[in-house]
């Protein structure tokens, strides 16, 4: 496992290094790639292994990349290049790590063609040394097939592979799938140091030929604009997060939610939405030290998780609360990892309300389902069908996609309660249409809807939106219900109108629980509030 320690840095020096040494370039006539596709630009990483200086410089760039992206190697035995193209590069990085005393002075050499006799050590390893834990290095990834095959072969030998680092991602789809998704489906961590779009941009900026400028720009449009317009991979993952498979991946979000609620006899969801100004006094605050703040908030939220886990059926992260302080995303992922490792039967949900055109929504799916690794996320449907369909691929057939229906904020009525020609309200059409779309794309089993808790307005109780939602959707959709607690939602009326058994809804509460105290008893106070809310819930289910 890797630890997060340092800030990210730009990687433009590496891209310039590749271009200056002719590793990456442009041809006026298209070439045929290994995948069979035609392309006018090339990435020939064999050049790096033709000179010792280039190999050693490349190894230093890789090591710098690992360190700058929090990928600090823990108890690693070896770096292995994917046969055959990255063999020399892997050996160069291995030697650099040995020189810097980051790993033991021991050489591991994998046989490209194994012997037809002997044990594993002699059959596959030239010098008889078999590593226990390795990092795999690839030069260029198109579909990821070669690297995935190599990783699986190593895993069959009982070797732990912490992940795959590639110098270049060509950004080409494999049967409609991004290379990141291919690795995710194989449960292999993957990260590239640079990609086609960035390299082509560098070529574009450095060319002095007007003709070549037009040719490169046309290549960018022809090869990448439709598939990866303005492609920018979401901030690289700060951790090699080799998480153990969980039951949710086999049976799906909704079933795991149901089982968890049956186990604790509650539908409570604890929201983990930190505010730096609410940090308990026990944590030391160092001005101008962003890393200190991130570590303190991480520790604070982990203590809240430990204190409230026995009372909750789901943990929910409001992503804006984590994005609003430096290193917050990395901190959030550490807390998510802690939950998965210690409470694997508790699903994790991301409240982010994303909604955009198809290609951008697909990037949100990658960012949250694949990189954040959450089990469910919500979306805003305002931009139409693509807001849902853009998330389907990354949901992997078991994660929950949740549409905003009737929300709890006071101003929502100005839009969501608009009356249509058939006298229905706008939110009713939105949830019905999106559920039908979910069925069309076969993601309806774990589909959900955000519905406001029952509430008071002008002295009158409003709960009919919940019963109406059940009329439209039946029991096939679970409800995420915010607004209970400090927002004044009515628990009894909410459950009477929306509860349809375990797994049918969650009651989300954040501030009332996590901000219960800023003194040394903050964790115990949070546990008391969670337990208290559970006791109230139990009266009505």
What residues act catalytically? 353
- Secondary structure string (H, E, C) spanning 93-116: HHHHHHHCCCCCCCCCCECCCCCC
Do residues 198 and 302 share a domain? no
Backbone angles phi, psi at 441, to 5 degrees: -95, 10
Do residues 419 and 465 share a domain? yes
Question: Which CATH number fits the domain that encloses residue 112?
Answer: 3.40.50.2020
Q: Is the pTM of this model over 0.75?
A: no
Do residues 203 and 265 share a domain? no
Do residues 203 and 274 share a domain? no
Do residues 136 and 259 share a domain? no
**Residue carrying structure tokens 């069908």:** 385
CB atoms within 10 A of CB 449: 24
**Does residue 236 form part of some domain?**
no
Look at residues 228, 258, 288 and tell me which one is the last residue of a structural domain: 228
Q: Which domain holds residue 326?
A: 248-538
Do residues 89 and 20 share a domain? yes
**Residue carrying structure tokens 């607690």:** 485
Angle of CA points 457, 461, 467, to nearest 5°: 120
**Does residue 6 form part of some domain?**
no
Do residues 520 and 379 share a domain? yes
Q: What is the pLDDT of residues 296-353, one digit of tens each?
A: 999 999 999 999 999 999 999 999 999 999 889 989 999 999 999 899 999 999 999 9
Instruction: Tell me if 271 sits within 8 A of 312, measured CB to CB.
Output: no
Query: In DSSP terms, which residues pair with 168 in a beta bridge?
Result: 140, 194
Distance CA 298, CA 355 (A): 28
pLDDT tens, per residue, the chain with 541 residues: 333 333 333 456 888 898 889 888 777 777 776 666 677 777 888 898 888 999 899 989 998 888 776 565 667 888 888 987 888 888 888 888 888 888 888 878 777 777 777 677 777 777 778 888 989 999 988 888 899 999 998 998 888 988 899 999 887 766 656 787 788 778 888 888 888 777 877 776 666 556 666 666 666 555 554 443 332 332 233 334 455 678 998 899 999 999 999 999 999 999 999 999 999 999 876 655 567 888 899 999 999 999 999 999 999 999 999 999 988 998 999 999 999 989 999 999 999 999 999 889 999 999 999 889 999 999 999 999 999 999 998 998 999 999 999 987 888 888 988 898 888 899 999 999 999 999 999 999 999 999 999 988 777 888 999 999 999 999 999 999 997 866 668 999 999 999 999 999 999 999 999 999 999 999 999 999 999 999 999 999 8
Roughly how many angstroms between the first and final C-alpha of the chain, as a whole number?
42
Do residues 457 and 514 share a domain? yes
Do residues 212 and 267 share a domain? no
Q: Which two structure tokens, joined as six digits, stand for 264?
A: 């604790």
Structural domains in the chain (count): 2
Instruction: Tell me if 541 sits within 8 A of 499, measured CB to CB.
Output: yes
Please tell me whether residue 120 adopts helix, strand or coil conformation.
Answer: helix
The DSSP symbol for 309 reads G
Distance CA 197, CA 224 (A): 8
Element housing 8 (H / E): none
What is the 3-state composition of the chain as percent helix, strand, coil, each rounded to the nearest 5? 45, 20, 35
Look at residues 228, 256, 284 and tell me which one is the last residue of a structural domain: 228
Do residues 366 and 458 share a domain? yes
Please tell me whether residue 142 adopts helix, strand or coil conformation.
Answer: coil
Angle of CA points 57, 2, 244, to nearest 5°: 130
Question: Which CATH number fits the domain that encloses residue 403?
Answer: 3.20.20.70
Residues 6+ away with beta carbon under 8 Å from 276: 293, 297, 325
Please tell me whether residue 265 adopts helix, strand or coil conformation.
Answer: coil
**Does residue 241 form part of some domain?**
no
Do residues 125 and 267 share a domain? no
Distance CA 95, CA 104 (A): 10
Q: What is the pLDDT of residues 157-213, one digit of tens each?
A: 888 988 899 999 887 766 656 787 788 778 888 888 888 777 877 776 666 556 666
- In DSSP notation, 388-436 reads HHHHHGGGTTTSEEEEEEE-SSGGGHHHHT-B-TTS-BHHHHHHHHHHH
């Amino acid at each position: 496992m890797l630890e997060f320690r340092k800030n990210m840095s730009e990687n433009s020096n590496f891209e310039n290094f590749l271009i200056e040494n002719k590793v990456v370039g442009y041809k006026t006539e298209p070439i045929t790639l290994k995948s069979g596709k035609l392309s006018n630009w090339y990435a020939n990483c064999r050049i790096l292994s033709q000179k010792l200086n280039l190999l050693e410089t490349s190894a230093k760039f890789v090591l710098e990349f690992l360190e700058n992206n929090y990928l600090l190697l823990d108890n690693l035995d070896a770096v292995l290049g994917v046969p055959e193209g990255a063999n020399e590069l892997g050996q160069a990085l291995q030697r650099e790590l040995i020189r810097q005393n980051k790993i033991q002075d021991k050489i591991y050499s994998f046989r490209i063609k194994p012997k037809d006799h002997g044990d594993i050590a002699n059959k596959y390893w030239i010098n008889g040394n078999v590593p226990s834990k390795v990092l795999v290095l690839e030069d260029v990834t198109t579909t990821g097939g070669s690297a995935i095959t190599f990783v699986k072969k190593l895993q069959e030998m009982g070797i732990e592979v912490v992940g795959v680092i590639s110098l270049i991602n060509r950004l080409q789809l494999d049967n409609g799938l991004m290379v990141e998704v291919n690795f995710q489906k194989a449960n292999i961590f993957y990260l590239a140091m640079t990609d086609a779009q960035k390299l082509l941009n560098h070529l574009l900026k450095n060319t002095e030929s007007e003709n070549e400028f037009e040719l490169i720009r046309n290549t960018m449009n022809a090869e990448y604009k439709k598939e990866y317009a303005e492609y920018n991979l979401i901030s690289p993952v700060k951790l090699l997060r080799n998480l153990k498979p969980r039951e949710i991946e086999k049976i799906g979000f909704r079933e795991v939610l149901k089982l968890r609620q049956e186990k604790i006899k509650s539908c409570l969801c604890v929201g983990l939405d930190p505010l730096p100004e609410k940090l308990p006094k026990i944590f030391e605050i160092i001005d101008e030290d962003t890393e200190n703040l991130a570590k303190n908030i991480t520790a604070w939220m982990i203590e809240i998780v430990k204190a409230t886990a026995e009372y909750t059926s789901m943990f929910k992260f409001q992503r804006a609360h984590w994005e609003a302080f430096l290193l917050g995303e990395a901190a959030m992922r550490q807390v998510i990892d802690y939950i998965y490792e210690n409470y694997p039967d508790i699903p994790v949900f991301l409240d982010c309300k994303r909604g955009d055109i198809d290609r951008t929504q697909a990037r949100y799916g990658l960012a949250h389902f694949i990189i954040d690794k959450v089990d469910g996320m919500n979306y805003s449907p305002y931009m139409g069908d693509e807001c849902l369909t853009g998330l389907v691929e990354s949901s992997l057939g078991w994660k929950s996609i949740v549409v905003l229906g009737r929300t709890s904020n006071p101003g929502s009525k100005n839009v969501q309660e608009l009356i249509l020609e058939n006298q229905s309200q706008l939110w009713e059409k939105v949830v019905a249409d999106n559920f039908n779309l979910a069925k069309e794309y076969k993601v309806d089993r774990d589909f959900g809807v955000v519905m406001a808790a029952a509430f008071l307005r002008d002295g009158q109780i409003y709960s009919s939106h919940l019963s109406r939602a059940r009329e439209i959707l039946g029991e096939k959709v679970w409800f995420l219900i915010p607004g209970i607690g400090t927002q004044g939602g009515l628990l009894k009326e909410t459950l009477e109108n929306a509860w349809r058994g375990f797994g049918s809804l969650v009651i989300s509460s954040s501030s009332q629980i996590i901000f219960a105290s800023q003194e040394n008893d903050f964790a115990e106070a949070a546990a008391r509030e969670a337990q208290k809310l559970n006791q109230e819930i139990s009266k009505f289910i």
